[in-house]
Amino acid sequence: MKTVAMIPARLGSKRVPKKNVRLLDGIPMISYIIRATKAAGCFDEIYVNSESDLIGEIAMNEGVEFFKRDSSLSTDSATNDDFALDFMEKVECDTLVQVLATSPFLTPKEIKEFTEEYTGTDAKTLISVNDQKIECIYGNETINFNKLEQTPPSQLLTPVQSYACGLMAWDTESFKNNMQKYGCAYHGGDQKINYYTLKGLSTVDVDTEDDFQLAELIAEYLRTKENNVQPPKYYGDKERIEVDVPDILVKDGVEENDLHDCNKLVVNLDEILSSNDETKSWSKRLVNTENNSATLIHQQPGEGNREHYHPSWNEWWYIVQGEWDWMIEGEVTRVKQGDVVFIPKQKVHKITAAGDKPAVRLAVSREDVAHIYKIGDE
């Protein structure tokens, strides 16, 4: 029995133009599902099915086969039935598992379990679904609850299943027979059909621009979560989160803050220092992008910041002028002009201008980084 995976992907998507080749956290979206399908390790062959040579190039770079369909099968009017039947007639297989590129967070484990569940039964079609344990209505009629009775807790409701679509499996002969008899086979026709429940992020389907923006955030989260796992925080905990940088600077004693006129191609630190009053505490932001910021901070002896830590962001400082006492996890180090200080995320730290002269540091971090303070120190 030959089991083949097919990943359909056309270039001419309308609601999200070229979504299959659009970079999702730096990687073409289709590459996510190609890699997951390969890692599942349960297919005799894997094909990307597309009319686009560009998508074909990605497929070959990822180490899978490219099936180039006719452009007529990539129009808005072409159906899944149409291009699946075309594929089955040209590529020999007993079972075809369709894996959608628009479900980029399907895992290799789920793809393998789905395929094994199909091959382990006598069903001719297996459809991935999403269980909805919530009161549902169709055509003004209730589906899984009685409106004349008190609603039970949601976990006790009979789930209503909706198509997840990310994974479909068909017996190719049954598919062809259904196409011949009914002109459609996607839903299983008159043969035995089973359903496989997907959960969590695997049910994400990228169909709109909002979907893509959400997927971008999910992809970044999945890439970084192993390094950013934090215990949950609750209202009433003995810690406080602050992210408003101007307010943070004022609380740290820096009352004159120029945080807007930044991102100039070239700036001169000596000119900035000489143009500001050395008897006052001030800050001047030099760079502010989506990835990082750099802020020059001038403070008087004895001034500094409050003891805090950053839960998910490393930062570093360049000492431009003077000396600072740097406390990291209770250990104090004296740093001076020319030193670079690195602060790992989750490390409690505090800095205080030392000596009898003002001190200046260049803080390199990001504008929206969370500062965590103990209540009473904020």
Q: Which residue has the tokens 């190719």?
A: 172
Answer yes or no: do 184 and 310 share one domain.
no
Cα separation, 148 vs 155, in Å, equals: 19
Assigned domain for 218 exists: yes
DSSP string of 134-188, one letter each residue: S--EETTEESSS-TTSPPPPGGGSPPEEEEEEEEEEEEHHHHHHHHHHHS--TT-
For residue range 265-302, list pLDDT tens digits in order.
999 999 999 999 999 999 999 999 988 899 999 999 99
Answer yes or no: do 198 and 178 share one domain.
yes
pTM for the whole structure: 0.69
Answer yes or no: do 7 and 75 share one domain.
yes
Cα separation, 262 vs 265, in Å, equals: 9
What percent of the chain clears pLDDT 70, i.e. is strictly above it? Answer: 97
**Domain count along the chain:** 2
Answer yes or no: do 214 and 291 share one domain.
no
pLDDT of residue 231: 64
Assigned domain for 234 exists: no
- Place 139 in a pLDDT band, splitting at 50, 70 and 90: very high
Q: Is-contact 81 182, C-beta < 8 A?
A: no
Answer yes or no: do 296 and 340 share one domain.
yes
pLDDT of residue 312: 85
Domain that holds residue 339: 239-374
Q: What is the mean pLDDT of residues 20-40?
A: 97
Assigned domain for 233 exists: no
Q: What is the mean pLDDT of residues 47-70?
A: 98
pLDDT of residue 228: 60
- For helices 53-61 and 29-40, angle between their N-to-C axes, nearest 10 degrees: 40
pLDDT of residue 226: 62
Answer yes or no: do 209 and 258 share one domain.
no
Answer yes or no: do 93 and 197 share one domain.
yes
Q: How many CA atoms lie within 13 A of 132 on its CB side?
A: 13
pLDDT of residue 267: 94
Answer yes or no: do 244 and 222 share one domain.
no
Residue 263 DSSP class: -
Answer yes or no: do 192 and 94 share one domain.
yes
Q: Give the containing element (helix H, strand E) for 57.
A: helix 53-61
Boundary-marking domain end, from 195, 227, 259: 227
